[in-house]
Amino acid sequence: MVNRPSTGTTWDAGGYGDVDNRFLEGRSKLVAVGIRDARGAATDLSPHNPDGSVRWSPFAQDNQIRGDLWAKKRINGVWQNNPDDNEGFEFVGAFKDGSGPSSKPKIDNDDFNIIQSMYPFDSTIVSQTLPFTFTPVETAKPLVRRLENNLPLNAEDGTNLVELPGALGAGWGSPVDSENIDRQVLLIRARSVAGKKLYTVDGYNLVRLNDVGEAKLGDKKNSAARDLTFQPLPDGLFMAMIDGAYRPIMKWTWSGGDGWTSLGGAPILDSSAPVATATTAGKATLAFPDPTGGDAPFVITAEFSVDAGVTWSAATLDGPGAVTSSAGTTTVKIKSLAAGSTLLRAVVTGDNGAVSRTAASNAITVS
Q: For residue 221, what pLDDT is reported?
A: 73
Q: Say if CB 41 and CB 237 are below 8 A apart.
A: yes
pLDDT at residue 218 greater than cutoff 80: no
Sign of the CA dihedral running 115, 117, 122, 128: positive
Let me know if residue 75 belongs to a domain. yes
Q: Say if CB 207 and CB 231 are below 8 A apart.
A: yes
Could you tell me if 212 and 304 lie in one domain? no
The rounded distance, in Å, linking the Cα atoms of 45 and 34 is 13
Residue 100's pLDDT band, with cuts at 50, 70 and 90, is: confident
Whole-Å CA distances, 354 to 14, 105, 173, 311: 28, 35, 51, 21
**Number of separate domains in the chain:** 2
Convert the pLDDT of each residue in 241-297 to its tens digit. Answer: 999 999 999 999 999 999 998 888 889 999 999 999 999 999 999 999 999 987 889
Residue 222's pLDDT band, with cuts at 50, 70 and 90, is: confident
Q: Say if CB 89 and CB 39 are below 8 A apart.
A: no
Q: For residue 61, what pLDDT is reported?
A: 92
Could you tell me if 339 and 311 lie in one domain? yes
pLDDT at residue 177 greater than cutoff 90: no
Q: Say if CB 120 and CB 113 are below 8 A apart.
A: yes
Q: For residue 227, what pLDDT is reported?
A: 92
Q: Say if CB 108 and CB 94 are below 8 A apart.
A: no
Q: Give the angle subtended at the CA of 341 by the CAs of 336 and 347, to the nearest 5°.
A: 60
Q: Of 219, 243, 263, which residue is a domain's last?
A: 263
Residue 112's pLDDT band, with cuts at 50, 70 and 90, is: very high
Across the strands, what pairs with 324?
A: 331
Among the listed residues 71, 32, 48, the one whose alpha carbon sits nearest the alpha carbon of residue 200: 32
Q: For residue 160, what pLDDT is reported?
A: 96
Other CB atoms closer than 10 Å to residue 63's CB: what's the count?
18
Q: For residue 269, what pLDDT is reported?
A: 95
Q: Of 263, 283, 306, which residue is a domain's last?
A: 263
Could you tell me if 242 and 290 lie in one domain? no
Q: For residue 38, what pLDDT is reported?
A: 98
Average pLDDT, the chain: 94
Q: Which residue type, as a one-letter code, is found at position 240?
A: A
Convert the pLDDT of each residue in 37-56 to its tens digit. Answer: 999 999 999 999 999 999 99
Q: For residue 314, what pLDDT is reported?
A: 97
Whole-Å CA distances, 217 to 100, 221, 222, 272: 20, 10, 8, 70
The average pLDDT across 84-112 equals 93
Torsion of CA 135, 140, 145, 147, to 10 degrees: -30
The average pLDDT across 299-308 equals 97
Convert the pLDDT of each residue in 179-206 to its tens digit. Answer: 899 999 999 999 999 899 999 999 999 9
Counts of helices then strands in the chain (DSSP H, E): 2, 24
The average pLDDT across 133-140 equals 94
Q: Which residue type, as a one-letter code, is found at position 307?
A: D
Q: Of 210, 238, 263, which residue is a domain's last?
A: 263
Give the phi and the psi of residue 258 in degrees, each rounded to 5.
-65, -30
Q: For residue 96, what pLDDT is reported?
A: 83
Could you tell me if 81 and 166 lie in one domain? yes
Q: Where are the beta strands (DSSP E) in 181-328?
A: 183-193, 196-212, 228-232, 239-242, 245-248, 252-256, 275-278, 284-289, 299-305, 313-314, 316-317, 323-326
Convert the pLDDT of each residue in 11-41 to its tens digit. Answer: 999 999 999 999 998 888 899 999 999 999 9
The rounded distance, in Å, linking the Cα atoms of 82 and 88 is 9
Provide the domain limits for residue 167. 21-263
Q: For residue 214, what pLDDT is reported?
A: 87
CATH number where 316 lies: 2.60.40.10
The rounded distance, in Å, linking the Cα atoms of 181 and 170 is 21
Could you tell me if 209 and 287 lie in one domain? no
DSSP per-residue string spanning 250-269: S-EEEEESHHHHHHT---B-
DSSP per-residue string spanning 99-149: -S-EE--EEEEEEE--TT-SS-SEEEEEEEE--EEE-BS-TTSHHHHHHHT
Could you tell me if 86 and 200 lie in one domain? yes
Whole-Å CA distances, 313 to 129, 134, 301, 337: 53, 48, 11, 11
Q: For residue 27, what pLDDT is reported?
A: 82
Let me know if residue 268 belongs to a domain. no
Q: For residue 178, what pLDDT is reported?
A: 79
Could you tell me if 186 and 65 lie in one domain? yes
